[in-house]
Structure 1
Amino acid sequence: MYDVLERYFGYTSFRPGQEQLIQNAMNQVPTLGILPTGGGKSICYQVPGLKKGGLTLVISPLISLMKDQVDQLQAAGIEATYLNSTLKVNEVKTIEAGLKAGRFQFLYVAPERFSQKSFIYLLQSLNITLVAFDEAHCISKWGHDFRPSYREVVQNVLMLPQPFTIMALTATATIDVKEDICQLLNIQNEHVIETSTKRENLSFQIDPTYQRNLFILDYIKSHPKDSGIIYTSTRKNVEVISEFLKTKEINHTIYHAGLSKQERDHNQHLFVMDDVPIMIATNAFGMGIDKSNVRFVIHYNLPQDLESYYQEAGRAGRDGLESECILLFADQDIRLQEFFISRTGNEEIQTLKKQKLNKMLQYTKTKQCLQATIINYFNPEEQLSKCGKCTNCLHQEENYDMTIEAKKIISCMIRLKTPIEKSILTQLLRGESSAYIQNHDFDKIKTFGAMKSYASKQVQIFIETLLFNGYLLEVDGKLICDASVTDIIKDKQSIWTYYKPLEYNERVEISTLHGMDEGLFDTLKQVRKSLSNDLGVPPFTIFSDKTLQIFATRKPKSKDEMILIDGVGSYKLKHYCPKFIEAIATY
């Protein structure tokens, strides 16, 4: 599999989780992969697809992403195509003939295609060896972006006669969503490959400014070379921000469901092709936008849940370079989201959405590391650490020694001798004699009421601090002590926490590779843009910003030097690299 990885994609090693997923596919084992945005999910089915031969069927709810994926495969010399509603009848017939002739290695399709009997008959006649469910969280009724038409596809796929392997992939999945996907696709728990959702290159920020338009204007002016997305909750806000930026002569475009399909496609093309740097959009724009050089994502309004927020914010920095995710939160946004919730689904769904909105609000109020808060939401069992660059990590001072409080909490946990939920532990420490506590005789423990002089919120802050510093762990929704708590009990370690209000004035500047020639980088972007115009493909499918930055740092003079750089495969080496080598030499 390493030969395929290097030959077609220009890499010599796999990212975390990729190799195990690929190995499962090669061994005919149904598998679910949960990898962060930019973590290389596509390669997980592309490498085994090429290795196994035959046809790999990729089912995706994102029509906007299909052409980008096919463009990238074709740019690497791989035969790929797609079938969706954007094609004309004669184009569909040509593609179907090519499929029957065995011409293609990859076929991307939208779920709606499975409603056509003729398409099912076509699939039954093809040599399908691998089926990949992309954006698999859309299958689950518990997912934040549930698509009923996608869920209905599952039975149609499972009834196909070929002995293919199934792979499901997503960037975001809570515990409920994971279990739902596995049940639907007959995937065993031991075959779920989950890596950390942490994105080392992203810095998360919260700014409660009431001058949101001015914030955006100031940010764009201070980042003139950067491409970014500004998300709003309503079409009206898209138009308002757009009109404001027009008066300031800021080059941008817009995207929302109120525009015609032709307008949306045109505006998306301008953004993806680097012709316009700024996109202002509702969440109608998004999940399928595979543009790797988005340097910032600003949320003008509070999203409805952390899944949506992380999915949208995660469109920044897909190339691995430093990028920023900024949430401009205001209290009036809460009422807007509550209104949206009141108009969706049945009572059960509304209750679930309200719980998720509450988690989103907790994110805006927490004094802990913002990235660690997100990670804990998706995987409570993951060991947490501070990112060191979010709003909270940078602009808060740990000004209170909570070692005494920590000892009380740990002592209580040790006396319990059993895992316990955070809310119950808080009640126990405060001496709240609820029916649950009485039924379990927790009110008879010596440490019952040990922190009765503290407000619930204060106790929760102390518990969170221990959790975020790794002294407490959350397993299956309940807290347990890590072995390191002995350092606190034996006075070998003191613990500090926050008691000062948040400050949001400073900003993190995006850094680049040390020693990179900025002038050469700009020149290489122009070469890439010219080449993309000639080929009619998005610039980032040729080379990512990260690869261009390596070019601008190392200044390779030959193909022998180029092939040693990540992202340069044999096809791109032959067809694209000569123009970049020439540009470097001329520069």
Structure 2
Amino acid sequence: MDKLHQTLMRYFGYDSFKTGQEDIIQSVLNQKDTVAMLPTGGGKSICYQIPGYMTDGLVLIISPLLSLMEDQVERMKMRGEKRVAALNSTLSFQERRHIIRHLPSYKFLFVAPEALMSEMLLEQLKSMHIGLFVVDEAHCISEWGHDFRPEYSKLGEWREALGHPVALALTATATKQTLKDTVQTLRLQHPDFHIHSVNRPNIALVKEAHETKEAKEKRAIELVEYLQGPGLIYCPTRQMTEDMALIMKQKTHQRVEYYHGGMDAGDRMLIQQQFISGQLDLICCTSAFGMGIDKADIRFVIHMSPPQSIEAFMQEIGRAGRDGKKSVSILLYTEEDADIQQHLIQAEGFDEPEIDFFLARLTQMQTNDEKKLREQLMESGLQETRARMLIHYYRMYQSDEPRVLLMKLKEKLQDRQTEKLRKVWQFKERITDHGCFRQSLLSYFYEQLDQTESASSDSCCSSCGLDLSDYEKKDQPLELNEMKHWKTVLDRMFHLTKEAQH
């Protein structure tokens, strides 16, 4: 057994790698900047942890979400790795300072991109040997990506400040443009690319057209009672997650909670852990939930409305079936859903009076500190995500004269909105197309469905004759079209519950 496989066995207990992992790791060990796209559940974390164990220096992992960092840190600690920490907003100033002062004692450090704005952290990192600079969820780099984070645009600059360590950019979904943006932003030198299919053959794809929002809700109730869980229901707004969770609590026998970015961080982490440990059957959530969550047995994902892009959709359905077992994605939609997404995108944008007002506020501020600029804009009534975006573009063009600055700022914001709307209509075209849904989605990533490797037509998609009965509850053989017998089912379930209690 070679050293690479010995390390895999020693730290993870596996005797073989998943598809793509070994090549990615070998590229990093060869000191090559590397861009890797592995499908959700493909084991991206091993691709930086094993090089960390086999080389000197700190492994710095840039991660976009608090829940993602916490999950990774907890998993590593459970395997016995004590030299790991995460710097995030849940820590007190004293806790953050303790970690920064003791950085040489750590092997793996997870940080949000915003954390690298800290001079104290940056100076300490500069004094150390960074063995590997990892960008997790690297699609966040591209301003045309589905989950752009303005702070990611500075990662190349920060990487150079840290001595240009070997970089590894990891993602599950990325278009050619996103990959190109990743290389440019991180300032990668002749990187190796390891791009694997976004296709997940074990996840069946269903799309269903409905006349009304109420019809979708009724169908979602039927599906939740019928399908083998646990499961997720993705909703387009925070309010809808709360409404759907209440409906599911009232109308089904599932243990249900909602999850969105507006909740307290402690509540979000508690719900996440309850779901992972099997104390909850169903989460009604926004896209804020699920990224990197280590729950292998999610059996279904229901979308109450199409997300804003195909990339986001593929990312979210990938929460299911990480164990490789049969799972199902069900997209419920109405003709009006694209209009809802269009409204949400337009609400994120800025009209001319808003741009004029907030630009005037920015130019009056006696600071160039991004955090202070953001805080002052938020005090003026601007929501945080919009404040981050406006400051990002403002700083790009602030050296121009005021008239040119205003013109470029308006153009950039309009271009971004136009691109997001274009992605919404691209997705709508694929949803309403009558051909194979899976092939239609793959074609967006310039992929062709490999008939020799794909699932058979009865587990491909609803356009190819999918039979939903393969995904029903194992202990409740009930035909979905026979919901009129619900009293019989309830009586039987109540009887089983009573027996289990004795």
Q: TM-score, normalised by structure 1?
A: 0.64
Aligned-partner Cα distance in 1 for 2:257–2:242: 10
> Which residue of 421, 424, 430 corresponds with 1:363?
430
Percent sequence identity over aligned pairs: 37
Aligned-partner Cα distance in 1 for 2:306–2:199: 21
2:304 alignment partner AA = Y
> Which residue of 294, 318, 322 corresponds with 1:318?
322
Match status 1:290 vs 2:251: no
Q: Highest Rg: 1 or 2? A: 1
Aligned-partner Cα distance in 2 for 1:132–1:168: 6
- Contact residue 136 and residue 168 of structure 1 kept, 8 A: yes
Match of 2:398 in 1: none
Match of 1:338 in 2: 342
Does the residue aligned with 1:85 lie in a helix, a strand or coil?
coil
For residues 158-197 of structure 1, the aligned pairs below 5 Å read 158-161=160-163, 164-187=165-188, 191-197=192-198
Match of 1:22 in 2: 25
Match of 2:418 in 1: 351
Shift of 1:71: 1.5
CA displacement, residues 378-432 of structure 1 (integer Å, 9 cap, x when unaligned): 1x1546436422334532xxxxxxxxxxxxxxxxxxxxxxxxxxxxxxxxxxxxx
Shift of 1:126: 2.1
Match of 1:219 in 2: 223
Shift of 1:72: 1.4
Shift of 1:324: 0.9
Aligned-partner Cα distance in 1 for 2:431–2:180: 28
Two-structure CA RMSD over aligned residues (Å)? 2.3
2:427 alignment partner AA = M
Does the residue aligned with 2:470 lie in a helix, a strand or coil?
coil
Aligned-partner Cα distance in 2 for 1:17–1:273: 29
Does the residue aligned with 1:367 lie in a helix, a strand or coil?
coil
Shift of 1:93: 3.5
Match of 1:81 in 2: 85
> Which residue of 3, 7, 10 corresponds with 1:7?
10
Match of 1:69 in 2: 72
Q: Any unmatched runs of 5+ in structure 2?
A: 350-412, 476-502
Match of 2:333 in 1: 329
- Contact residue 154 and residue 184 of structure 1 kept, 8 A: yes
CA distance change for structure 1 residues 287 and 31 in 2, over 3 Å: closer, same or farther?
same
Match status 1:507 vs 2:463: no
- Contact residue 130 and residue 162 of structure 2 kept, 8 A: no
Match of 2:158 in 1: 156
Shift of 1:213: 2.1
Does the residue aligned with 2:236 lie in a helix, a strand or coil?
coil
Aligned-partner Cα distance in 2 for 1:140–1:97: 33
Match of 1:147 in 2: 149
> Which residue of 229, 243, 256 corresponds with 2:232?
229
Aligned-partner Cα distance in 1 for 2:71–2:469: 31
Aligned-partner Cα distance in 2 for 1:348–1:360: 19
CA distance change for structure 1 residues 392 and 46 in 2, over 3 Å: closer, same or farther?
same
For residues 184-583 of structure 1, the aligned pairs below 5 Å read 184-187=185-188, 191-209=192-210, 210=212, 211-223=215-227, 226-248=229-251, 249-345=253-349, 346-378=413-445, 380=446, 382=448, 384-385=450-451, 387=455, 388=457, 389-395=459-465, 506-510=467-471
- Contact residue 302 and residue 330 of structure 1 kept, 8 A: no
2:160 alignment partner AA = L
Aligned-partner Cα distance in 2 for 1:58–1:263: 25
CA distance change for structure 1 residues 362 and 508 in 2, over 3 Å: closer, same or farther?
farther
For residues 91-130 of structure 1, the aligned pairs below 5 Å read 91-100=95-104, 103-130=105-132
Aligned length: 400
Shift of 1:366: 2.2
Shift of 1:189: 6.3
Aligned-partner Cα distance in 2 for 1:383–1:305: 20
Does the residue aligned with 1:41 lie in a helix, a strand or coil?
coil
Aligned-partner Cα distance in 1 for 2:274–2:60: 29
Aligned-partner Cα distance in 2 for 1:510–1:19: 33
- Contact residue 32 and residue 191 of structure 2 kept, 8 A: no
Match of 1:425 in 2: none
Aligned-partner Cα distance in 1 for 2:190–2:337: 38
> Which residue of 60, 65, 75 corresponds with 2:63?
60
Aligned-partner Cα distance in 2 for 1:42–1:236: 33
Shift of 1:204: 0.7
CA displacement, residues 440-461 of structure 1 (integer Å, 9 cap, x when unaligned): xxxxxxxxxxxxxxxxxxxxxx
Does the residue aligned with 2:9 lie in a helix, a strand or coil?
helix
- Contact residue 260 and residue 285 of structure 2 kept, 8 A: yes
Shift of 1:282: 1.8
- Contact residue 57 and residue 129 of structure 2 kept, 8 A: yes
1:268 alignment partner AA = Q
Aligned-partner Cα distance in 1 for 2:469–2:108: 41
- Contact residue 63 and residue 288 of structure 1 kept, 8 A: no
2:158 alignment partner AA = N
Shift of 1:207: 1.4
Aligned-partner Cα distance in 2 for 1:307–1:137: 9
Does the residue aligned with 1:274 lie in a helix, a strand or coil?
coil
CA displacement, residues 267-288 of structure 1 (integer Å, 9 cap, x when unaligned): 2332233211110012232324
2:85 alignment partner AA = T
Aligned-partner Cα distance in 2 for 1:202–1:3: 32
CA displacement, residues 545-584 of structure 1 (integer Å, 9 cap, x when unaligned): xxxxxxxxxxxxxxxxxxxxxxxxxxxxxxxxxxxxxxxx
CA displacement, residues 457-510 of structure 1 (integer Å, 9 cap, x when unaligned): xxxxxxxxxxxxxxxxxxxxxxxxxxxxxxxxxxxxxxxxxxxxxxx8x51524
CA displacement, residues 176-200 of structure 1 (integer Å, 9 cap, x when unaligned): 1011111222335661110111112
Does the residue aligned with 1:294 lie in a helix, a strand or coil?
coil
CA distance change for structure 1 residues 250 and 277 in 2, over 3 Å: closer, same or farther?
closer
- Contact residue 30 and residue 186 of structure 1 kept, 8 A: no
Does the residue aligned with 2:200 lie in a helix, a strand or coil?
coil
Shift of 1:259: 3.1
Match of 1:136 in 2: 138
CA distance change for structure 1 residues 327 and 32 in 2, over 3 Å: closer, same or farther?
same
- Contact residue 322 and residue 511 of structure 1 kept, 8 A: no
2:344 alignment partner AA = F
1:336 alignment partner AA = I
Shift of 1:63: 1.3
Q: Which moved more, 1:45-54 or 1:382-391?
A: 382-391
